Amino acid sequence: MAERSFKAEVEHLRKGKGDVFTGEGILAITKALLENGVGYVGGYQGAPISHLMDVLADAEDLMRELDVRFEANASEAAAAAMLAASVHYPIRGAVTFKGPVGVNVASDALANLCSSGVNGGALIIVGEDYGEGSSIMQERSHGFAMKSQFWLLDPRPNLPSITKAVQDGFELSEASNTPVMLMVRIRSCHVTGSFETRDNQRPKLSVAEAIANPQSDFQRVVLPPMSYVHEQDKIKTRWPVAEKFIVENGLNEVFGPKDSSIGIVVQGGMYNGVIRALQRLGLADIYGDSDVPIYCLNVTYPIVQSEFAEFCAGKDHVLVVEEGQPEHIEQMLGNSLYKSGGKLRLYGKDVLPMAGEYTGQVMLDGVTAFLKEAAPDMLPGQVRAPNQAPPDIPDLSNTVPIRPPGFCTGCPERPIFAGMKLVEQELGKHQITGDIGCHLFGSLPPFEIGGATMGYGLGPAANAAFDGGGERRAISILGDGEFWHNGLSSSIGNMVFNKSDNVVVIVDNYYSAATGGQDVLSSRAKNPTKATNNPIEAALKGVGVEWVRTITHTYDVGKVRDTVREALTTDFKGPKVIVASSECMLNKQRREKPIRNAAIKEGRRVDVPRFGVDEAICTGDHACIRLSGCPSLSLKRLDDPLRDDPVAHIDQTCVGCGNCGEVADAAVLCPSFYRADVVHNPSGFERWRSVQRNRMIGWLQQRREARRLRLESAAT
């Protein structure tokens, strides 16, 4: 199951000419693909484009009606390779994945695609998440577009511009026989708005029709001598045609007055930030009418030199707003000015930071710094004053605590790391690598397990250098999503081939949980369109792993501890793999909570397990918290003058997984944890029994209170 269902949103995809679509940018892209006659769509889920894949999966009935082929690919490389259908056939195809990691994984296929060129329109929709909202390394996809020479669209973050970019992308690709990358940032993916829809279009040539009449052209095969011809074709034919299309169709936009001594060149995706900064300075209104000329690059590669020269004519100062580094666009424009003998001054990374996200405040500061040098008279008086003190912004670092990401309440991966921590206390610290996914949170306190991550599915491969027969075996963490994506071949296959003696722990939580809960090959769900229920253990044995252990209930911390210890101390030589399986609690709650709430509402009897801490038994040493780290496990101060230290306390967010008690038992801590079942809609007998129990407990409490020794001071 995916993170959420989009069955309701799918109905909006059926809207036709004259209707209005309202929703998120990423959903608008889905509608635009259907309006522009896409023939096939593929991709790999990941923020911020997961919803596109999830919507397409929920819309497979509609896709079949339109003869559109959809595939949730096993990896970004598989998705990019799918675009081979557009090399020989005039079929429009689109794939999507997270960038730049997706671009990195798909790089081989993309490079070959760019070399051969395409006949049909080929669109790569990349969810660029550079900046503070990112969960990956900080890189841009722009450099790859330059390296392989496919065209890069970066539309303004509003739904009409985004949907127009889909149409422009297909047409530009077809006109220049070049694949096009459509970059949509987090802001674009999640911006909400509306646009007027058009009728969905069947592909002019469906994949079924194409395969009935196979085509081939040796001229497009990436093999010498044709690969040398491809390079020349990029420069001499495709590039000029692309520039001509961009200019004639007005893909880039110019706003503001025609005559001015200053101007701003901005990536389309950063347009909203620039116009907002100008609004705050009183130089633009809420409709985007600007007093400063703006050249908005909805196409950031290639740069059209003639358009740029026309914009710069008569100007003395131009600011380039380009988020991230290196400053590819600024370098291109500076090179163009130098070669043309231009005398204007180009600003960019001197008034704006070289790296880091261009937030609203960063943008305001950069635009203000530019205007102070280039056109100080345009600034309001209080901003123009050179000695004005900056506003006093309070330091909230001591008030608002740092909140790093962590495991969800009840996460089945938490006890795995608790068990590994207990083994570490017993056998000493081991070399451990992590992998991309939820389990990477194990590198944070309180576990601090796993000190490196090299890529999706590369956890065990990252430990290959430590397989030299040393005193201790290295341990690698791998998720089920990563295992099927890249881990089986690049990590496990590599270990078998090289006779590794290291240990791998595969965290199997039934889904590709880190990307939104999509099904994978080993998911237990019955998926009508996907082959699930393929055991990881069978795949491991199929590639030659002989030592495999399965843990079917990861909340059994003692079992996890003992199995990890066995893997590290066994005399067996060869790869040792532990498959630790329990369902992602977040997905489990999403599935079970509505069913449970409906049953309670209908008056049926329902038991809900909850856990608590006996305050009289808890010693207050907090070892349970250090070995668990569950968000529902906190501290509570007692109203007892003889006990200064706070005791452990479980709050109302507890989901009843039982991990806290298992940790306390495995680590031989105090037996203060207890389980209590909350009974909804109890039977008449249960109500009667509860009344009798409360009466007995009340009588015992009164009796004890009466016997308590009291010391009272004499009245003075």
CB 578 within 8 A of CB 592: no
CATH code assigned to 253-384:
3.40.50.920
User: What is the distance between the alpha carbons of residues 315 and 349, in angstroms, rounded to a whole number?
Assistant: 19
pLDDT of residue 387: 52
- Residue 460 CA to residue 503 CA, distance in Å, equals 8
Q: Quote the pLDDT of residue 518.
A: 86
Per the CB < 8 A criterion, the answer to whether 170 and 39 are in contact is no
Strands 20-24 and 192-196: antiparallel
pLDDT at 55 over 90: no
- Same fold flag, 24-197+220-248 and 253-384: yes
**24-197+220-248 has which fold?**
Rossmann fold (3.40.50)
User: What was the pLDDT predicted at 274?
Assistant: 96
Return the pLDDT at 582: 93
Banded pLDDT at 457 (limits 50, 70, 90): confident
Q: Which residue has the higher pLDDT, 27 or 248?
A: 248
In this predicted model, which residue has the larger pLDDT, 283 or 637?
283
| pLDDT over 90 at 423, yes or no | yes
pLDDT of residue 3 exceeding 60, the answer is no
* The pairing of beta strand 576-581 with beta strand 503-508: parallel
- Measured at the alpha carbon of residue 586, what is the angle toward residues 52 and 479, in degrees to the nearest 5? 75
Element (H, E) at 338: helix 328-340
The confidence score (pLDDT) of residue 469 equals 67
Burial 562-578 (b: 16+ CB within 10 A, else e): bbbbbbbeeeeebbbbb
pLDDT, average across residues 289-298 = 96
Q: Is the pLDDT score of 295 beyond 70?
A: yes
Where would I find the H helices in 471-529?
480-482, 493-497
Is the pLDDT reported for residue 297 higher than 90? yes
Q: What is the pLDDT of residue 494?
A: 94
Residue 695: C-alpha distances to residues 507, 677, 680, 681, 698 (Å): 48, 20, 21, 21, 5
- Position 4 scores a pLDDT of 60
% residues pLDDT > 90 (the chain): 62
Interacting residues of 19 by C-beta distance below 8 A, sequence separation 6+: 196, 197
Give me the mean pLDDT over the 262-270 stretch: 96
pLDDT in tens, 644-678: 888 888 888 888 888 888 888 888 888 888 888 88
**Got the DSSP string for 524-565?**
-S--TTS-----HHHHHHHTT--EEEEES-TT-HHHHHHHHH
Token pair listed for 580 = 């630790």
Distance CA 484, CA 466 (A): 24
Does the domain at 605-702 match CATH 3.40.50.720? Answer given as no
Phi, psi of 292 (to 5 degrees): -110, 125
Q: Is the peptide bond before 225 cis (omega within 30 degrees of 0)?
A: yes
Distance in angstroms (rounded) separating the CA atoms of residues 474 and 483: 18
pLDDT in tens, 378-408: 988 766 555 555 567 777 777 776 667 788 8
Residue 249 in 3-state DSSP?
Answer: coil
Rounded mean pLDDT of 685-702? 92
**pLDDT: which is higher, 625 or 256:** 256
Looking at the predicted structure, is the pLDDT value of residue 272 above 90?
yes
Report how far residue 10's alpha carbon sits from residue 13's, in angstroms, rounded to the nearest whole number: 5
CATH classification of 414-587 is 3.40.50.970, yes or no?
yes
Contact between 106 and 79 (Cβ < 8 Å): yes
Please name the amino acid found at residue 1.
Answer: M
SS3 93: strand
In 660-701, beta strands by DSSP E: 673-680
- The mean per-residue pLDDT over the stretch 611-618 comes to 88
In the predicted structure, residue 448 carries a pLDDT above the cut 70: yes
Distance between CA 574 and CA 503 in Å, rounded? 9
- Mean pLDDT, residues 488-510: 94
Give the integer Cα–Cα distance in Å for 173 and 590: 41
**72-76, 314-318, 650-654: the lowest-pLDDT one:** 650-654
- Looking at residue 467, its pLDDT comes to 84
Start-to-end CA distance of the chain, whole Å, equals 74
Backbone angles phi, psi at 648, to 5 degrees: -70, 150
Q: What is the pLDDT of residue 174?
A: 97
Question: Which pLDDT value is given to residue 383?
Answer: 65
- Quick one: average pLDDT of 422-449? 89
* Cα 82 to Cα 118: distance, rounded to the nearest angstrom: 12
| Segment among 4-13, 176-185, 598-607 with least mean pLDDT | 4-13
Question: DSSP secondary structure string, 353-402?
Answer: -SSS---HHHHHHHHHHHHHHH-GGGS-HHHH-TTPPPP-----TTTS--
Band (pLDDT 50/70/90 cuts) for residue 117 is very high
Q: Is a pLDDT exceeding 80 seen at residue 614?
A: yes
Q: Where are the domains of the chain?
A: 24-197+220-248, 253-384, 414-587, 605-702
Q: State the residue for tokens 């250090």.
A: 626
Higher pLDDT, 515 or 349: 349
pLDDT of 633 above 60: yes
Specify burial of residue 177 (Cβ count, 10 A radius: 0-12, 13-18, 19+).
Answer: buried
Q: Confirm if 497 and 489 have CB atoms less than 8 A apart.
A: no
Beta-carbon contacts of residue 618 (< 8 Å; ≥ 6 apart): 647, 648, 670, 672
The number of beta carbons lying within 10 Å of the beta carbon of residue 287 is 8
Mean pLDDT of 479-494: 92
Q: What is the pTM of this model?
A: 0.88
Over residues 514-543, the pLDDT tens digits come to 788 888 999 998 888 889 999 999 999 999
Q: In whole angstroms, what is the distance from residue 374 CA to residue 655 CA? A: 59
Region 618-634: mean pLDDT is 84
- The whole-number average pLDDT for the span 687-703 is 92
Residue 480 predicted with pLDDT over 70: yes
pLDDT by residue (tens digit) across 535-554? 999 999 999 999 999 999 99
Mean pLDDT of the 89-116 span: 93
